[in-house]
Amino acid sequence: MLSLAVNAALAVYGAIFLAGAHAFTPSDPYTQALGFAVAGHDRAAVRAVDQEACVFAVDDAVVHLGAIDRSRLGFALMTAQTGWGPIRHVAVTLHGDTPVYERVEKGLDEEGPWDDEAVRMLKRIVKARSPELFHDRRVIETDITLKLPTSDIERVRQDWATVMRGCAARKPLPVTPTTPATPREADAPAMSAAPARPTSPASPAAPSRIEPHTAAALSAWTIPPL
């Protein structure tokens, strides 16, 4: 009986685990690469916010792929010392002229399920002095370093290459082609004024050149010899 109960419990936990893993499995290779590149694990929830501008939500963060300066994208394998020993992680540095990363910092809970009376009183005092600590705050970054909970820097590099290669952000077209149109229209009157063809009265000059020759020819042929 005990073995049957253990087996049943294992089956239930296994089904729950597999269901959870299936729920977080990305539907395509690009989504899987994006989740790992930004979150550092394969269970990140990814959804499109603005696909034309390459803006995606990964877990609780929003990343603007179209705004990232690809030439300044950096990767480094870092080691942090903790009470449990050294822990390695991958640092990904993002830069842009406009926001590249957004996240929401959760405020303190006014009352937690494990708070005793002393903790509740302390929170009331803190809230009276700094109420903003209990409000969610949106943080927008144009430069940020992501610390990913993985040491597989080669996969991080490859996934970022896949993500940036697949991003087809539509950036605003340069306005320079359209602005010259107005100067040209302004110059057009000057060009039209340039037809100084009224000065083609030089055409009367043509007869003045021909007259001597024609006069000579006429004098040669019309005057009979005496």
Distance between start and end Cα atoms, the chain: 156
pLDDT of amino acid 179? 54
Residue by residue, pLDDT tens for the chain (226 residues) are: 434 443 444 343 343 333 333 334 446 899 999 999 999 999 999 999 998 899 999 999 999 999 999 999 999 999 988 888 889 999 999 999 999 999 988 888 877 778 888 888 888 888 888 888 888 888 999 999 999 999 999 999 999 999 999 885 444 444 445 555 555 544 445 444 445 555 444 444 444 344 454 444 444 444 444 4
Q: pTM value?
A: 0.57
pLDDT of amino acid 170? 42
Q: How far, CA to CA in Å, does 10 sit from each of 21, 62, 75, 224?
A: 16, 37, 41, 137
CA 134 to chain centre: 31
pLDDT of amino acid 70? 93
User: Please, which residues have CB within 8 angstroms of residue 13's CB and are 6 or more apart in sequence?
Assistant: none
**Burial (Cβ within 10 Å: 0-12, 13-18, ≥19) of residue 142:** middle
Q: Residue 214: left (phi > 0), alpha (psi -120 to 50), or beta?
A: alpha
Nearest in space to 37 (alpha carbons), one of 116, 78, 102, 93: 93
| Domain range list for the chain | 2-100+142-166
- Give Dmax (Cα) for the chain: 156
